[in-house]
Amino acid sequence: MEWINRYLFGTAVPILLILAGIFYGFRLKWFHIRRPFTVLRVLCTREKGSGVSSFRALTLALAGTLGVGNIVGVSAALWMGGFGAIFWMWVSAFFAMLLKYAEIVLAMLYRQYDEDGKPHGSAMLYIKACFQARGRGLLGTALAGVFALLCILNAVTMGSVIQVNAVTKAFEGVFGISPWVTGSALAILVFLILRRGTDGVLRVTEKLVPLMTLGYLLLSLAVLILRADRLPDAVALIFRHAFEPDAAVGGIGGFFLSAGVRYGTMRGVISNEAGCGTAPAAHAVSDCSVPARQGVWGIFEVFADTILLCTVTALVVIVSWSEVVARNGDFMMMTVSAYSAVLGKPAAYFMTVAVLLFGFATVICWAHYGIESASYLSRRPWSRRAFLFLYVCSVFVGAFASADTIWQTADFAVGAMTLINVTVLCLMNREVRDATYFSFKKEK
């Protein structure tokens, strides 16, 4: 599995994602760049409806992408690829925006409604439809089923075990709290929230995501203001080292190699899961009636996750680089040191809480992804209950599990999901183009 992750997914997936992003850019004529005011107007327009708003669906998707990788993953990219890695993260995010947009549009086009009239969507639905329309229904059914199984596997490993493992280590290291206590508390909280279904998850993410994002931004801005004299040099370093070979490898490779992975030693950084096929399950619950409108929120999701949060983290680490390098590749403590070097010991406590909030948001979001996948495989009630039992157990186990094998499994699942999903996105580009032109012609 390690060989496959390193040489197959580590090479094929980054190249495929970049080429697919360029392809969609020309296919959609870079509308998000050429017509920024139209995009902003879509984001500021609220549709009337009694269901889930576009913003609530966005917070659910952001809960999945805003993981502890936003806190420590950037340090990994800087350590592995140099300062120029951040430039390549920006480039990667630029192309990833349209892939995120495309998969959300397709999820909205092919979503289904349950007996209560609530919408449900996922990558599995448009994967199956893609091949059925081409006379390959059996292949579509098989690939959609494989994708659902991979998503469940990734939910249990990356979405649960790895996140909880990071949280428990942070609390044990800073506060001295036993993993037994942290793991048990998280498992109970997750169980109570998931018992209430999607509505319970949405209520938590709607409040938690804006709060943790605002708090993290304010702390980062405080550091950057206090070290404003070093900020121009930090920005200059990013561009100066951008075209060194190591920077390109660390930036693009770090951004794509561990797609769907939030945190890990000696791995790169993934910002937003664009092209992975997970976000459709979050955005499809929206009551938005125009697929392209909801797709635009996916573009904003990439911007908020990578361009905004990852950038401020990178700048904080760079302006405190002399204190950071002493940690010698301990990515968690590299980031903590960058903040505490300027703001003192309280910053370490805040960062530990931030790891808890970011990690917990990811855990409950990925539970939603896993439930949608389990429901796709079988609509019987037992499939949902079986997954919930497995997921809550994985949360508790994550407090003690060794992360090495789990990382390998998560990397494999995400790589396979991305290859399937991006291939289908390219095959279905006409549907995305038509939906885009129809919607934005009306906006104009």
Q: What CATH number is given to the structural domain containing 170?
A: 1.20.1740.10
> Is the per-residue pLDDT at 2 higher than 70?
no
Domain extent for 186: 2-111+118-443
Pick the more confident residue, 5 or 251: 5
CA distance 367 to 353: 21
| pTM, entire model | 0.84
**For position 224, what pLDDT does the model report?**
93
Residue 441 · residue 434 · CB < 8 Å = no
CA distance 175 to 129: 51
**For position 11, what pLDDT does the model report?**
64
CA distance 299 to 297: 5
- 269-287, pLDDT tens digit by residue? 344 677 788 888 888 888 8
CA distance 198 to 116: 13
> Is the per-residue pLDDT at 393 higher than 50?
yes
Give 297's pLDDT tier (boundaries 50, 70, 90): confident
Identity of the highest mean pLDDT range in 48-62, 187-201, 379-393: 379-393
**For position 12, what pLDDT does the model report?**
73
The tokens for 295 are 């797709």
Give the whole-number percent of the chain exceeding pLDDT 90. 19
- 51-87, pLDDT tens digit by residue? 566 777 777 777 667 766 677 777 777 877 778 778 8
Average pLDDT value for the chain: 80
- 345-372, pLDDT tens digit by residue? 888 888 888 888 888 888 888 888 898 8
**For position 444, what pLDDT does the model report?**
52
- 262-271, pLDDT tens digit by residue? 332 233 334 4
Q: How many domains does the chain have?
A: 1
> Is the per-residue pLDDT at 5 higher than 70?
no
**For position 230, what pLDDT does the model report?**
92
- 234-250, pLDDT tens digit by residue? 999 888 887 665 444 44
- 172-181, pLDDT tens digit by residue? 877 788 888 8
Give the whole-number percent of the chain exceeding pLDDT 70. 83
**For position 131, what pLDDT does the model report?**
94
CA distance 112 to 118: 8
The phi, psi pair for 267, rounded to 5°, reads -120, 165
- 324-342, pLDDT tens digit by residue? 876 776 677 788 888 888 8
**For position 211, what pLDDT does the model report?**
80
Stretch 191-218: mean pLDDT: 78
Identity of the highest mean pLDDT range in 36-50, 144-158, 271-285, 409-423: 144-158
> Is the per-residue pLDDT at 251 higher than 90?
no
**For position 68, what pLDDT does the model report?**
66
The tokens for 201 are 């998850």
Pick the more confident residue, 276 or 204: 276
> Is the per-residue pLDDT at 260 higher than 60?
no
> Is the per-residue pLDDT at 443 higher than 60?
no
Place of tokens 């992804």: 369
- 80-137, pLDDT tens digit by residue? 777 877 887 787 778 888 999 999 999 999 988 877 778 888 899 999 999 999 888 8
